[in-house]
Amino acid sequence: MQNSYIESLHVKNVRQFSELNVKFNKGFNFIAGPNGCGKTSILACISHCFNYNNILYSRIGEGAEFWTDLTSKDEKLRFGFGTGTFEVKGYRNTSLKSWNHAPSDEGRKTILSHDVSNSAEIFCPLFLGANRSIKYKQISGMQREQTRDQTLNAYSNSSTQQLHGDHQQDIKQWFVNRYFMIDKPWAIEERINWEHMVNSLPKIGPFDSDFSYIRTGKDLEPIFSIYGEECYLEELSSGFQAVLSIIANIFEWVEGSRPDGDRKVTEASGTVLIDELDLHLHPEWQFTLRNGLEKIFPNIQFIVTTHSPHLLASAQQGEVIVMPKTYGREIYNLEPSSKMYSGWNTDQILSEVMGVRSLDNKQYEQLVSKAFECVENGLVLELETAIDNLLLVAHPSDTIVMVLQAKLAAMVATKND
C-alpha cells in the first residue's frame, strides 16, 4: 500500500510561475502539455522543496515561496520554504536571507528542508531526467556501497542536476556489485530484488522481444538479450537502455535510501519523478509501459511528464494532468482530470487533450470534407476523384472512406434509374 507519496505542490514566483498549485494522486501522474508550458519546471520546483542547494537552477522572483505537501508513513508533512527565505541579486545569483518556514496547516507538520540529510531521511524522492543513454565505463571490481546517510545526501543534492542532465546514477556498477554479492548469505533483500528484476525484464519488454538479463562475464560486462541476440549493456538500443536505466535506477534507489529490512522493491513506497517517460520508445512500448512499471513497483507513486498520446491512452482514471497552452502572469490550479482516455484514438488525444491545433489541416481531413461536399451537391465524377485521392492517403480499412464509397454507389444507382 502506498503510505508515502506527494500530495501537492505550491509555488509562488519561481521560474515562469507567478503562482502554481498542483494536486497529485497516489499512483501514476502523467503531466502533459506543449513544449515550454512548464512540465519539467514542476519537477524542478518539487526538487527545490527538499533541498535548497540547487536553487540556482531556477530563476527566483521577489517573495518566492514553495512547498510540497506529502504523506510519509501515514504522517502528514509540509516540506519547503516560506516567503522571504531567498534574496535575489541577479541571474544565477540568489542567496539565503533567513530560514522561513512554510505556513502551517492544521494536522500537518511543517519541515524546513535546511538540514538536508535529516529531511532526506524522512522523504527522499528519486528524480530521473530526460538523458537516459548509458555511456561505456570500465568496471574494475565490486565497489563498496555507500552508507545510507551518504546515499540520501547524494540523492538529495543531485535531484535538480538529474533533471537537467548534469548528473547520472551509475547503474553498471550496481549490476556488477549484484553479480558479486547476490549469493552471499547476508544479501537477503538484494537477492529478492535481483530475482524480481530478472523475472520482470521479459515481461516489461515489447511483445516478442524477450528482453532478458543473461549473465555478467569475467570481464565484468553485464550481458542482456533482445530478440534472441546477446548484447552488452552499452550496445542495447536507445529504447531498451531508456527502460533499463529507469528500472535499475529505481531498484538502486530503493536499496540505497531505506534501512535494512525495508528495502524490498515490491513493498517499497515513495515517489519517482521522471521527465519525458516516453523518450526513445516505440508507440507499442509507450502504451504498455505504465502497466509494466506498476507490476514491478506496485506501491510507488510516479510523477512523469510526457508528449505521448499512447502513454496518456494507457492512463487510468484520474492520472492525467493537462497543463494549459498559454501561460504568463496567471494562477495555475492543476489536478488530475477525472477522465480516462483509453477509448480515445490518438488523434482525439492529440487535439483535445494535448492541444495540437494543426490536425484539422491534415491532407486527410481536407479530402474528407471535400468528398462530403461532393455528396451534398450530387457531384458523382468529382466524388469519384475525391475517393481515389483519399484511398492514396487513408488507412486501407478507413470507415469514412467506406461510407463515402457506399454513398457514391447509391448516387450512381439513383442516376442510372
Ligand X SMILES: Nc1ncnc2c1ncn2[C@@H]1O[C@H](COP(=O)(O)OP(=O)(O)OP(=O)(O)O)[C@@H](O)[C@H]1O
Q: How far is the CB of 257 from Mg ion (least distance, A)?
A: 25
Residue 140 binds ligand X (CB under 6 A): no
Residue pair 60/94 in contact (Cβ under 8 Å)? The answer is: yes
Residue with cell 552471499: 184
| Three-state SS letters, 223-247 | EEEECCEEEEHHHCCHHHHHHHHHH
* DSSP single-letter state for residue 351: I
44 vs 111 by CB, closer to ligand X = 44
Residue 36 binds ligand X (CB under 6 A): yes
Residue 48 binds ligand X (CB under 6 A): no
Q: How far is the CB of 97 from ligand X (least distance, A)?
A: 19
CA dist., res. 163 & res. 93, Å (int): 20
Cα-to-chain-centroid distance, residue 132: 12
Residue 38 binds ligand X (CB under 6 A): yes
Q: What residues make contact with Mg ion under the rule CB under 5 A?
A: 39-40
Q: How many CB atoms lie within 10 A of CB 379?
A: 15
CA dist., res. 50 & res. 44, Å (int): 10
- The DSSP string of 328-380 is SSSEEEE--BS---TTS-HHHIIIIIS---GGGGSHHHHHHHHHHHHHHTT-H
Choice from 12, 23, 59, 339 touching ligand X (CB under 6 A): 59
- The DSSP string of 309-331 is HHHHHT--TT-EEEPPS--SSSE
Q: How far is the CB of 329 from ligand X (least distance, A)?
A: 13
- From 286, 287, 353, select the one nearest 322 (Cα to Cα): 353
Residue 99, CB-side half-sphere exposure with 13 Å CA sphere: 9
- The DSSP string of 264-313 is -TTT--EEEEES-TTTT--HHHHHHHHHHHHHHSTTEEEEEEE--HHHHH
Size of the site for ligand X (CB under 6 A): 13
CA dist., res. 38 & res. 374, Å (int): 45
| 51-59, 61-69, 151-159, 186-194 -> range binding ligand X (CB under 6 A) | 51-59
| 31-39, 220-228, 353-361, 407-415 -> range binding ligand X (CB under 6 A) | 31-39
| 3-11, 38-46, 218-226, 282-290 -> range binding ligand X (CB under 6 A) | 38-46
CA dist., res. 77 & res. 74, Å (int): 9
Residue 158 binds ligand X (CB under 6 A): no
Residue number with the shortest CB distance to Mg ion?
40
Q: How far is the CB of 90 from ligand X (least distance, A)?
A: 13
164 vs 264 by CB, closer to ligand X = 164
Q: Give residues 241-280 in contact with ligand X (rule: CB under 6 A).
A: none
Q: How far is the CB of 126 from ligand X (least distance, A)?
A: 18
CA dist., res. 3 & res. 134, Å (int): 32
Residue 57 binds ligand X (CB under 6 A): yes
Q: How far is the CB of 57 from ligand X (least distance, A)?
A: 6
189 vs 278 by CB, closer to ligand X = 278
Among Mg ion, ligand X, none, residue 82 binds (CB under 5-8 Å by kind): none
Choice from 4, 25, 29, 41 touching ligand X (CB under 6 A): 41
Choice from 4, 58, 159, 245 touching ligand X (CB under 6 A): 58
40 vs 119 by CB, closer to ligand X = 40
Cα-to-chain-centroid distance, residue 255: 21
38 vs 222 by CB, closer to ligand X = 38
List residues binding ligand X (CB under 6 A).
Answer: 15-16, 33, 35-41, 57-59
